[in-house]
Copies of this chain bind each other. A is one copy, B any other.
Amino acid sequence: MRSVDKDTITEAFLGYCHADTDPRLRFVLERLVHHLHDFTKEVGLTHEEWRKAIGLLTGAGEISGPERNEFVLFSDVLGLSSLVDMVNSPDDATPSSVLGPFHILGAPDLPVGGDLRKDNAGAPVIVRGRIIDSTGAPISTAEMEIWQTADNGLYSNQDPAQPDYNLRAHMTVGADGVYAFTTVRPAPYTVPDDGPVGELLQATGRHPWRPSHFHFIVTADGYRNLVTELFPDDDPYLDQDAVFGVREGLIVHYRRKDTIEPADQAQVAAELTVPYYTVDFDLQLSKTA
């Protein structure tokens, strides 16, 4: 393959891969290089544009570290992270959504009905529902991780003013599959926009905001893990989430209650005050193959 030219370079690349190459790797690389080369030819990528792209990647490397990964953020704002979620989401489960960078291990156990709100500012919100299988039956062995921002839009590990593990919990459901907790409404926030990703957002007139959300990981033996988020139907950024995390099936309504309903109070440990809100959502898991 001496005569590498515009029309043969993609084939040349494949010819260079050894026959022993793992077939899946070979397939993924073949499609990657095919698309990369087609893109370059279609747009007639200039040397200056190539240098700009290399500069963005180099800058992403420089700004990344243990606390921040700009490559993940690029993947997020280009819709790649969400698309990976979508192509791996089974049809018979709640849609999955981006994990994001704010989940941390070791959140304290909270019993069903327990209180996450504690001294956080904001009206009480009861979040509740069942963890079910694709037939609607409860999964009695399910566990979930819960994390969210305070009403200042910051997670506990971003905000020295919050106690460790504020608004984070691990919950194990009972035989009825029911989960429930009291908390406050999380707030919209921005993804970091002071690096190369911020440059891209600015050049395309995009804002860095994400709609507010509850973040969950739900697991149960014999079922596929579910990472997902619940978004309020009145969030100002619902129609343009910077990281493409919103799905129609993940939008919830905060029902305002101006008098305390005994059934609500019976479900949670904290003493309700008015106004309070209820958010109802069943989390559905798909069986592992």
Residues of A within 8 A of B (CB): 1-6, 9-10, 12-13, 16-22, 25-29, 31-33, 35-47, 49-50, 54, 57-58, 60-62, 64, 69, 71-72, 75, 78-84, 86-88, 203-206, 238-241, 244, 246-248, 251
Partner pick for A79 among B12, B20, B58, B248, CB 8 A cutoff? B12
Query: Which B residues are in CB contact (< 8 Å) with A18?
Result: 204-206
Taking the closest CB of chain B, its distance from the CB of A260, in whole angstroms, is 33
A37–B12 Cα gap in the complex (Å)? 24
Structural contact, B1 and A239, CB atoms closer than 8 A: yes
The 9 closest A-B pairs by CB, nearest first: A61-B61, A18-B205, A35-B35, A17-B204, A57-B71, A3-B248, A35-B39, A6-B86, A9-B79
A20–B204 Cα gap in the complex (Å)? 8
Partner pick for A13 among B64, B78, B87, B88, CB 8 A cutoff? B78
Structural contact, B38 and A35, CB atoms closer than 8 A: yes
Structural contact, B203 and A87, CB atoms closer than 8 A: no
Structural contact, A88 and B47, CB atoms closer than 8 A: yes
Query: Which B residues are in CB contact (< 8 Å) with A17?
Result: 204-206
9 intermolecular pairs with C-beta atoms under 8 Å apart: A9-B83, A17-B205, A21-B205, A25-B203, A31-B39, A37-B80, A40-B87, A41-B83, A45-B87
